[in-house]
Structure 1
Amino acid sequence: MHSILVENYMDGNPHAISDKATVRDAIHLFMKENIPGAPVVNEEKLLVGFISEQDCIKEMLNDAFYCEESPAVTAVMSTEVKTLDPDDSILAVAEAMAKAPPKNYPVVKSGKLIGLLSRKHILKALVETNEDCYIHH
């Protein structure tokens, strides 16, 4: 099972948001694509952070209270992001994810965002592997 790799199940075309975007832009992306968060990348597609719906809710409450303009995503995003390598084992990631957040892991190669692995991707890999076990027994 350790041979099941992240690159085989990740979303190879993840919805990322520019580090020049505003929190309001991020919210529109989340609503349009029905996603709970997104990696934040710079012009070179290097991963610089991750912004979630929760980050945006906190900020929008503040904006509504003070009637302020929407800040840049870089003001509210998480900069300490757990990332994966495309060659990482799905089993190892599943074990880590079962114990603690995050729900999504950006997949990077040489610092550049190349994919996103979510709980759904991991469940798909585990279900397919489990089905293979039944076929071979």
Structure 2
Amino acid sequence: MNELKSSPHAKDFMTSHVEVVTPEMPLTQVVRFLLKHHVSNAPVVEMRNEKKYLVGFVSEKDCLSALSKEIYFGNPSPPQSAKTIMTSHPICIAPDTELFAIVSIFTSHHLRHLPVVQEGELLGIVSRCDILEAMEKYYSQLVHKSDHERELRDTSQIMNLRFTIDRS
């Protein structure tokens, strides 16, 4: 019997080219950046030795909240930047995180994107669309495999990964 290919990992379908912002970027530039690149969020990175190190994640929601507060209450001191509005220590995954563990994280935490990080360095990003495509491709392999027998998985591994947060 032919072995079914094991499920893919984040490194197999992540987007490696990621648009990023820096912590010092002013709020207005962050907003313009998101609009220009047609993205709903962006990793906040510090550059060290030509590598991008993840320090946070900024979203449209963060920008909307900061802008509305600034407009309603006046200019804050210090001025708002990516660093002051970002989510510090976002949930991240490693490049070798298995597909079903990623699905579990997405569905449990209602996320749209997950940074792929190794030792603090941003390697890529995985979106819900990436996951859906990977799941569909994997599912198609299962359905079209005539000699495939359904097997029970050890769900304890997936359940344990559901709450793993990489804070590097």
After TM superposition, is the score higher than 0.5?
A: yes
Alpha-carbon RMSD across the aligned residues, in angstroms, is 1.6
Where in structure 1 are there 5+ consecutive unaligned residues? none
Letter in 2 for 1:75: T
Change beyond 3 A, Cα 1:130–1:43: same
How far apart, in 2, do the equivalents of 1:67 and 1:11 lie?
38
**Equivalent pair of 2:7/2:138 in contact (CA under 8 Å):** no
Q: Secondary structure at the match of 2:47?
A: coil
| Percent identity of paired positions between Structure 1 and Structure 2 | 23
How far apart, in 2, do the equivalents of 1:5 and 1:111 lie?
18
Which residue does the alignment assign to 1:62?
A: 69
**Equivalent pair of 2:31/2:63 in contact (CA under 8 Å):** yes
- Determine which of 9, 14, 19 is the counterpart of 1:5: 9
Show CA shifts across 1:43-93 (max 9, x none). Answer: 221110000110100110112124427511101111021111001101111
Q: Secondary structure at the match of 1:59?
A: helix
Moved more, 95-104 or 111-120: 95-104
Query: Where in structure 1 do 4 or more consecutive aligned residues deviate above 4 Å?
Result: none
How far apart, in 2, do the equivalents of 1:36 and 1:85 lie?
22
Q: Secondary structure at the match of 1:46?
A: strand
How far apart, in 1, do the equivalents of 2:6 and 2:103 lie?
11
Query: If you compute each CA radius of gyration, which structure gives the higher value, 1 or 2?
Result: 2
Letter in 1 for 2:19: H
Which residue does the alignment assign to 2:23?
A: 19
What is the CA distance between 1:136 and its match in structure 2?
1.2
Letter in 1 for 2:128: R
How far apart, in 2, do the equivalents of 1:23 and 1:66 lie?
15
State the TM-score, normalizing by the size of structure 1.
0.92
Where in structure 2 are there 5+ consecutive unaligned residues? 147-168
State the TM-score, normalizing by the size of structure 2.
0.76
Size of the alignment, in residue pairs?
137
